[in-house]
Amino acid sequence: MSASQEASTGRVTLARAKEISDSGHLWIYAGFVHAVSGNPVAGDLVDVVMPNGQFYARGLYNPASKIRIRILTFNEEPITESFWRGRIAQAVRLRKRVVSETNAYRMIYGEADRLPGLIVDRYGDMLVMQTLSAGMDRRKELLAELLCEETGASRVYLRNDAKSRSLEGLPVMTGFLRGEGPTTLEVYEGTARFLVDIARGQKTGWFCDQRENRLAAARFAVGAEVLEVFCHTGAFGIQAALAGAKSVEGLDVSEEALALARRHAELNKVQDRCHYRSTDAFDEMRQIERTGRRYDLVFLDPPAFARSKQAVPRALAGYKDINLLGIRLAKPEGILITSSCSHHVSEQDFWRVLARAAQDAKRQVRLLEQRGQASDHPVLASMPETRYLKCFILQVL
């Protein structure tokens, strides 16, 4: 493996420097580009300069993407093997400090680890990697080798089937990049055990971002009757059952996900208290409300309702409806734990939705905790896009 320096193959001059300078944002959109010299192609390293020719940044170029440049550094430093190793090693050091009681966590979180377009989750000795930009995709062999060296992992599986790759002009591909073996793995979170399908599961196989919220929520589960809506493979409910919940009812539209939830219940020896049914969450919650059934603990963890800014008004209406039902299904002094993974819905917008839902339900709610994504998904101050998960723990009076 060569340790030679990568040469910048192009020079990009900015058109609207005042809006970019000092922001620290790692994306430069096509509309901010005035001129390109040197004929760089997708994945090439380029230097970015201000209109007066002053150096601004060094990054990876893609003429096929609206995000024309993903910045690696604001310094005139060489991009060598040592550069990539240093960024990976820094990410590994952070996870050693913040991750405990699990072997399933996010090792590299793209822009937040200053490795834009690279996602890596660790499941035991397996790394599942997504290269979501042309620049990272071109360097995936080098990155995989460095990741194995820095983490001690022996296998790397590519999950390059994300829809966002099409926006980069990249093909869909999956499969082992390093090593081989089964693609269903057993992981643990605290005392809980779960099965992760790295080849077919959501994201890279598991929702690592909710791990700390699942453990925090379990504190309210002792002796509780629990309703887990959008339960997927049952992680919130399993943790609740292990913490002493009296019963768990899980709802999800996917029978495939529920089959795995049932396996998780058996794996954790709580199958006698965990029951699942395939159904539309909105319809089923309305039906439950009509029966008069109420719960001590209600989990709401829906998929993203807003994948664009244009979808936000409709998403907010959806969040209000589902939380209105969740509030109505909570017993007096019960707990509602509700989440939104829509980046375009802010914490303030989500809180306002919850307040309006409570008002319409004619119930008072009070905030016990306002949480976000797990600490292995850090938020880079200059990149608000790296902050997306909202999780509110409420008491319903």
Beta bridge partners of 133: none
The token duo for 72 is 């690696």
CA pair distance 186, 123, nearest whole angstrom: 8
Beta bridge partners of 278: 252
- Name the nearest CA neighbour of 343 among 112, 134, 64: 112
Specify whether the CB–CB gap between 204 and 367 falls below 8 A: no
Long-range contacts of 93-96 (CB under 8 A, 24+ apart): 94/376, 94/378, 95/122, 95/376
- Name the nearest CA neighbour of 87 among 380, 343, 384, 372: 380
Among candidate residues 148, 231, 341, 391, the one labeled active-site is 341
CA pair distance 133, 138, nearest whole angstrom: 9
Residue 208 appears among annotated catalytic residues:
no
CB burial readout 212-242, b (16+ within 10 A) else e:
bbbbbbbebbeebbbbbbbbbbbbbbbbbbb
How many Cα atoms are found within 13 Å in the side-chain-facing hemisphere of 108? 30
CA pair distance 378, 91, nearest whole angstrom: 10
Specify whether the CB–CB gap between 156 and 146 falls below 8 A: no
**Sequence letter at residue 289:** E
CA pair distance 286, 283, nearest whole angstrom: 5
| Residue 81: how many other CB atoms lie within 10 Å | 16
The token duo for 144 is 């995989």
Catalytic residues: 341
